[in-house]
Amino acid sequence: MRHLALVPLFALALCACSSVPPTLPAGPVTADERTAVASALTVERQWLASWFRGTPVVIEQRNDGAVSVVVPREFCFDRGQSTLKPALAAVLDKMAESLRRVPQAGVPLIAAPDDAAGSSPLALQRATRIQDHLRARGVPGLRLGKPSAATAAAVQLRMEAAPAP
């Protein structure tokens, strides 16, 4: 008799195993969807700008709807180091929060500067630390671009509609 009570439970387990897992919605593919993401990014740009008003952090929205964030090097890293300073960590934390609210957006540009002009292993190490910080704050790696060396003496980030898979 006890075994009969387990039959419905076993049947439920089998059904769960045979069901198709839910799929994630596809990324933006139409012009209307890209426009909707650009509108959402406008709201996020305003929200980010309100957090960093009066600081050297520059937050702008480009004509294509992408949001660029530029943080001067002296607020990002100590000379010769790749450890994030608290000011940059605060910017990245707020960006991660924005990305949670706009799941159709990603950060294809993650660029960090070296201590001098030009590209170096230090610049790439710094950009990788930025990427790691965003991942640690819950941003999936698929929504993040490849770390690169910045062309200016500042961390450069760009948040935009993620490409369709």
Helix (H, G, I), strand (E, B) or coil at 103: coil
pTM for the model stands at 0.78
Backbone φ and ψ for 58, nearest 5 degrees, come out as -105, 120
Nearest to 141 by CA among 125, 118, 162: 162
For residue 145, how many other CB atoms are within 10 A of its CB? 16
Q: What is the domain partition of the chain in residue ranges?
A: 29-161
- Is residue 2 very low, low, confident or very high in pLDDT (cuts 50, 70, 90)? very low
H/E stretch holding 134 reads helix 121-136
Structural fold of domain 29-161? 60s Ribosomal Protein L30; Chain: A; (3.30.1330)
- Is residue 163 very low, low, confident or very high in pLDDT (cuts 50, 70, 90)? low
Q: pLDDT for 82-110, tens place per residue?
A: 999 999 999 999 999 999 999 999 999 99
For residue 143, how many other CB atoms are within 10 A of its CB? 18
> Rounded distance, CA 140 to CA 111, Å?
18
Which of 17-21, 111-115, 130-134 is least confident? 17-21
Backbone φ and ψ for 156, nearest 5 degrees, come out as -120, 125
> Rounded distance, CA 18 to CA 122, Å?
49
Among 4-13, 29-38, 109-118, 140-149, the range with the most confident prediction by mean pLDDT is 140-149
Report the pLDDT value the prediction gives residue 32, as an integer from 0 to 100.
78
> Rounded distance, CA 93 to CA 127, Å?
15
3-state helix, strand, coil in the chain (%, to 5): 45, 20, 35
